[in-house]
Structure 1
Amino acid sequence: MSNLLGSIWWLAVTLGLLVTFHEFGHYWVARRFGVTVLRFSIGFGKPLWTRIGKDGTEYCISAIPLGGYVKFLDSREVEVSPAERAGDFTAKPIWQRMLVVAAGPAFNLLFTVFALWAMFVIGKPDYQPVIGRADNLAATAGFVAGDRIDAIAGETVTNWTDTNLVLLGHALDRQDVQVRVTDAQGRPAQRSLALSKIAADKDEFGAMREIGLTPKFLIPSEFFVGQIGEGSAAAAAGVRTGDKLVAVDGQPIRSWDGFVEMVQAAAGKPLALDILRDGKAQQIALTPRQETENGKTVWRIGIGYKPAEAPFDALLRYGPLAAVPAALRETGNLTSKTLEMIGRMFSGKASLQNISGPITIAAVANDSAQRGVAWFCYFLALISLSLCIMNLLPIPILDGGHLVYYLIESIKGSPLSEKALIAGQYAGLVLLAALMGLAFYNDIVHRLLS
């Protein structure tokens, strides 16, 4: 329940903040050009709260919190008297109307830079790009535990978030890459990762699994009892959830697979399990019980483990001045990668499952907020950038569609006909509804499979 409430709250914070900033961009530039603003709404549908400002604008918060809008005085919608003509949006020069429309996405881009600047100043904790285990293609390429990834295809990486982002792009393109690493002994080395061998039918998750790089922070060094089977040997012996597993018959537990092997090797003989409970060392005697699984005999004690969460071991931080160019560089980098991902979805290289809706955004917002202010700033930057790019798509009813209309008007010397505008609006609504439907479908599928 707490996760659900947290997700709803942080979704409201995210959308409220970013939609307000986007619509304020339209509002602010329109006012600079003398356009009369009739309404500034956060959300759609029935207004829940309204206030008339000194400037005559109606400010309101509406019932459906999935967007917002700014309503201008428009002679295409209402009759405009000669006295009001100066504030008529349609009477303004094309270049002014284009700037007003482009201001929303532009303000989202500015917000992205600001959020990344704040992230760098606060300091974003992360994990070092150190490998904990190498399988599949990575093992074939010679990667071993302890290798630290320094660069992929010439692009420097300093943490595991960047490593995943860069590696995923090349994996989707099935491009072989050279990876520069520093091994566990501090020696530089070059590895050739044959991403072209990833099967064509693999999606993003399948591709990353075929690569086979598991970060060190996901390889637990400590194990705690997470579940105990009812009526199991562990339950009968008095093992409790939260007990830290230390050793079996004096042999330290270094991995879960190793622990399982120790239990199997006992073949039903009594074991001495060393644990830590509330900081105190204890030894518990128990005997594995024989079970049959897929026609094979196995020995079980009935314990499921809960690995200790690895602490962050990398920090990305700059001073206030140095953070400015760093934020600009990161904005350019994320913009490039986002556009590349959109291109891959259009070309079929990336799955349309990457399109997420409010349910996934809410879950990620909550998770980012739990990680700290810097991580939440990074999340806000990503969503703000996505809103910027999405709104610039040439789809009628979106800002990008309006910019296309004005571009056509500037070329032909007159506005599009009302019939063409209405047809475009309907087409835009259908496309947007399809996009939102896909996003909700992906959200539901992800929730069911998670």
Structure 2
Amino acid sequence: MSEIAGSIWWMIVALGVLVTFHEFGHYWVARRCGVGVLRFSVGFGKPIWSRRDRHGTEFAIAPIPLGGYVKMVDEREGEVPAERLGEAFNRKPVLQRIAVVAAGPIANLLLCVALLWAMFVIGKEDYAPVVGRVDGIAQQSGLRPGDRIVAVDGRAIATATEAVMGLTGAAMDRRDVQLRVEDASGNDISRRVYTSRLPAGFDEQDVTGALGLRWQFTVEPAEVRQVRPGSPAAGTLQVGDLITAIDGQAVDTADTLRPLLQKFGARGGEVMVEVEREGSRLALPLQPQRMTDPDTGAEFWALGIALGRGHAPAYDALQRYGPLAAIPVAVRQTGQLAADSLGMIRRMVTGHASLQNVSGPVTIAKVANASADRGLTWFLQFLALLSLSLAIVNLLPIPVLDGGHLLYYLIELVKGSPLSERAMAAGQFIGLAILAGLMGLALYNDILRPVI
């Protein structure tokens, strides 16, 4: 399946699952409150499939998979027969209306917990938060290769993904962060990372890179992956050779080899390349050659080889729990993710985080496809995050969203009477304008900015 087709397919699957649960929450509570439900639709547009149950509710699937809705008996939506007035949503007590509206986001919140529970029971594979290379701020903060991060600001960390989330929040808040690390010798040490020193406009999508921190799993070994025909290495080095030293200076990664080649190439003459090949250690003389980067035009010394694995390294961290033990872990993780999401919204509103973090359907589709490619547990985590985001966004006090309706009903509960139709109409207009702005920003971030 191509990347485009895969992105579209997995986005449809994701939104189909999440919208179905969201609308089922509204539907289930509405029925318990005696509200008549005319239609339960997944997707928008003319139904491509539908059926009616014995209660007269039409269940439908429509071709535009970007949402869904539950249509209830409501005098504000059209004329209601006298015999069904008792089922009208608008005639129900305000607390029942609040319960019906809140049920959708609550269903997504519960789904998030269920998906994370399934992920932990199956076993979530990830990478260990072990430092591979440091420079810049990370080095100034005392981090060293081999350090394993075990806590960020007191929050226990088991994976590199969790560590990145903690560091990103601190960086956006412009505050230093306290790390607890276990060094290569097993000593428990506290490190203070000076994230407040990051320059204005740093890449919020790559905080670890801006700090000068590279994880161990991202550090490429100095293993020969390709030998270019006609290059200095042709006929001498072989695919699979692990370069260990150049003229007696140790080489532990691909990054350490490149500057050594520039140094010895500029000196002139041959260099002695030490390699490990099929269990044997060899010393091979080679003459670095001056080459030109076809993209930038920059000249550099090289041997004519490509280094690295050529594939993603194997996962080295696993989060797995039994069915009962996974329940509190999933609940705790949902709480942490909710706090992080609300923190991101707060930062964007206050200007501490870039609005580039607002994503739309294109980004959702790409992430859906990428997570599906990485395996079931990664896709379950993606669904959980998206379900939680749907719950939080729907609870924002923006008219036309569930949160806007809840705001209306809470005002009604306080003042003892509904808002006027004029006030609600004005709120709907404002809500549509806000949503249009957010959708435009999301599409800009998705499509236009990468082109510019």
Q: Using structure 2 for the length normalisation, give the TM-score.
A: 0.89
Please state whether the residue corresponding to 1:244 is helix, strand or coil: coil
Are 2:302 and 1:300 aligned? Answer: yes
Alignment correspondent of 1:120: 120
Alignment correspondent of 1:256: 254
1:377-426 residue CA offsets vs partner (Å, 9 max, x unmatched): 11111100000000001111100011111112223333222222222222
Alignment correspondent of 2:400: 397
Moved more, 34-43 or 407-416: 407-416
Please state whether the residue corresponding to 1:420 is helix, strand or coil: helix
Alignment correspondent of 1:159: 159
1:29-49 residue CA offsets vs partner (Å, 9 max, x unmatched): 001111111111111123222
Deviation at 1:284, TM superposition (A): 9.8
- For residue 390 of structure 2, what is the amino acid of its counterpart? L
Q: Aligned partners of 2:299 and 2:404: how far apart in 1? A: 65
Q: Please give the root-mean-square deviation of Cα atoms over the aligned residues, in Å.
A: 3.0
Contact persistence 2:130–2:216 (CA under 8 A)? yes
Picking from 217, 242, 249, the partner of 1:246 is 242
Q: Aligned partners of 2:440 and 2:227: how far apart in 1? A: 38
Q: Aligned partners of 1:36 and 1:126: how far apart in 2? A: 47
Deviation at 1:51, TM superposition (A): 2.0
1:258 and 1:134, CA in 2 relative to 1: closer, same or farther beyond 3 A? Answer: closer
Alignment correspondent of 1:55: 55
Deviation at 1:431, TM superposition (A): 1.0
> What is the aligned residue count?
444
- For residue 187 of structure 2, what is the amino acid of its counterpart? R
Contact persistence 2:170–2:195 (CA under 8 A)? yes
Pairs within 5 Å for 1:137-216: 137-205=137-205, 207-216=207-216
Please state whether the residue corresponding to 2:47 is helix, strand or coil: strand
Contact persistence 2:72–2:88 (CA under 8 A)? yes
Moved more, 92-101 or 2-11: 2-11
Q: Aligned partners of 1:170 and 1:114: how far apart in 2? A: 29
Q: Aligned partners of 1:275 and 1:221: how far apart in 2? A: 12
Identity %: 50
- For residue 244 of structure 1, what is the amino acid of its counterpart? G
Please state whether the residue corresponding to 1:46 is helix, strand or coil: coil
Pairs within 5 Å for 1:262-411: 263-264=261-262, 265=264, 267=268, 269=270, 288-291=288-291, 298-307=300-309, 308-411=311-414
- For residue 406 of structure 1, what is the amino acid of its counterpart? Y
Q: Which runs of 5+ in 2 are unaligned?
A: none
Q: Which runs of 5+ in 1 are unaligned?
A: none
Contact persistence 1:153–1:178 (CA under 8 A)? yes
Q: Aligned partners of 1:210 and 1:342: how far apart in 2? A: 22
Q: Aligned partners of 1:418 and 1:224: how far apart in 2? A: 72
Contact persistence 2:111–2:387 (CA under 8 A)? yes
Contact persistence 1:112–1:385 (CA under 8 A)? yes
Alignment correspondent of 2:439: 436
Deviation at 1:255, TM superposition (A): 1.8
Are 2:23 and 1:20 aligned? Answer: no
- For residue 107 of structure 2, what is the amino acid of its counterpart? F
Contact persistence 1:270–1:286 (CA under 8 A)? yes
Please state whether the residue corresponding to 1:90 is helix, strand or coil: helix
Q: Aligned partners of 1:63 and 1:392: how far apart in 2? A: 26
Contact persistence 1:391–1:399 (CA under 8 A)? yes
Q: Using structure 1 for the length normalisation, give the TM-score.
A: 0.89
Deviation at 1:250, TM superposition (A): 9.6
Please state whether the residue corresponding to 1:204 is helix, strand or coil: coil
